[in-house]
Amino acid sequence: MNALAVAASPRVERAWDVLAGVPDPEVPALSVCDLGIVREVREEGDALEVVLTPTYSGCPATEVIERSVLDALAAAGLGPARATLRRAPAWTTDWISAEGRRKLREYGIAPPGAAAAGEGVPIRIVSRRAAPPVPCPRCGSERTERLSAFGSTACKALYRCIACREPFEHFKPI
């Protein structure tokens, strides 16, 4: 917390701790906080308000995430609570925490590069530059090839490592 930030109440701090344990329904190795979906937690009167930004506007897991967040807060005795969806600014893979990137790699999914820093190539219909190599999350080799633009979900692509010959998914930078 920076020097200008107002200290969070114990209830808000506890809510953040609880939400850090709520798994993403599509990549359960990550919490909704690891993914950067939880943007803010604040007290509004006697209720907690949790601000969520879905990974994309048509994400089919949005309602499940909202329900999981509210259920977790209720189970921890932190209710009443409500979730608010904030779609602007749009979610970006830059919001995935360092811990989340580590967890993705350990789960066998290559994490995205930082789109804002130019390390990753954001999803585009027509690419104007060559994509940087995607390192294999198993052996670390950059000798990989994309097999399909889409993996198990629209936000992932399917790759294969030429060195260890293992397939893996890559979380696309957006």
* Cβ neighbours around 19 below 10 Å, total: 22
Those residues with Cβ within 8 angstroms of residue 17's Cβ, 6 or more apart along the chain or in another chain:
none
Query: 40 and 76 in one domain?
Result: yes
Tell me the pLDDT tens digit for each residue of 68-110.
999 999 999 998 999 999 999 999 999 999 999 999 999 999 9
Q: What is the pTM of this model?
A: 0.75
**Domains contained in the chain, number:** 2
85, 118, 135 — which closes off a domain? 85
Query: 120 and 80 in one domain?
Result: no
Tell me the pLDDT tens digit for each residue of 37-47.
999 999 999 99
Q: Are strands 81-85 and 47-52 parallel, antiparallel or unpaired?
A: parallel
Q: Which domain holds residue 77?
A: 10-85
Q: Could you give the CA distance from residue 37 to residue 46 in angstroms, rounded to a whole number?
A: 23
**Average pLDDT along the chain:** 87
Residue 91 lies in a domain: no
Domain of 18, CATH number, reads 3.30.300.130
